[in-house]
Amino acid sequence: MTRILSVTIDIEDWYHVSASNVGISIGGNNHSIKNNYFERTNVGGIAYAIRLENQTNKLSIIGNTFKTCDYGIVFLVTDPNTDCHKYATISENKFIDSNYGGIFGSYMESCVVSGNTFYDAGDEPILFTDSNRISILDNIIKDTGVSNHVLLDEGITVRGNGFEIIGNLIEAVDSSAIAAISVYGDGAADPNTSYNGENTIIKNK
């Protein structure tokens, strides 16, 4: 595992094939993670190809391939009162045979997830909770129904405000999928302090 918590880092063209739980653990600002290959040889348990630590700002995660990882990219939060991930760009990545999901984020703001492909990428390929102003654009999510793979449950699942969910292709074959897109709130009455799905736009091709 590579663990990086400071300075600005460009991680490009690495080849990670490992049974370890975490490929890259990184925090801080302005990092670029580009054109890497991640494959986990021991699927099961909780394993992240890329784990973002507590607070990050202006990350670029572009053009990577994630194969047989339990999760491809996970944004961690230790203290929701102080931690937040902002301005991440996650584009043109491939997620293949995930056990649980491709991208998971919580307490995120003003991020873009675009042009990624998810093939048999777990039951929830894209999942964001307690987040604001996330653009999820032109991604492809396919569940091929291959035996022994985790079937798609919800293609895109979000809780928060100001989401743009536009131009995504979601396709399930022989799946137990409940919903292509699920947008939900926390039920709180005060829209200024809660996540009620306000100003969310959904448009698909």
Is residue 158 in a domain?
Answer: yes
Could you give the CA distance from residue 76 to residue 159 in angstroms, rounded to a whole number? 16
Token pair 């022989």: residue: 174
Mean pLDDT of 53-58: 89
Query: Does the residue 195 lie in any domain?
Result: no
Give the chain's domain count. 1
Is 59 within the bounds of a domain?
yes
State how far the Cα of 59 lies from the Cα of 41, in Å rounded to an integer. Answer: 27
pLDDT at position 89 is 98
Tens-place pLDDT, residues 73-94: 999 888 888 888 999 999 999 9
**pLDDT exceeds 70 at position 2:** no
Which domain covers residue 58, as residue numbers? 2-186
Residues 33 and 157: their CA atoms lie apart, in Å, by 24
Strand partners, 180: none
What pTM was estimated for this model as a whole? 0.89
**Integer Cα distance of 90 and 34 in angstroms:** 10
Residue 196 counted as domain residue: no
Q: Which two tokens stand for residue 60?
A: 């670029």
DSSP letters spanning 13-25: S-EEEESSSEEEE
In a domain, 205, yes or no: no
Name the residue with tokens 């137990």.
176
The mean of the pLDDT values for the chain is 85
> Does a structural domain hold residue 73?
yes
Encode pLDDT of 104-136 as tens digits: 999 999 999 999 999 998 889 999 999 999 999
- Is 128 contained in some domain? yes
Look at 23-27, 98-102, 192-196 and tell me which has the smallest mean pLDDT: 192-196
Residues recorded for the chain: 205
Please check whether residue 99 is in contact with residue 78, taking contact to mean a CB–CB distance below 8 angstroms: no
Average pLDDT over residues 16-30: 85
pLDDT at 148 over 60: yes
- Per-residue confidence (pLDDT) for residue 111, from 0 to 100: 97
Task: Kindly report the backbone phi and psi dihedral angles of residue 148, in degrees, each rounded to the nearest multiple of 5, phi listed first.
Answer: 70, 5
Residue 199 included in any domain: no
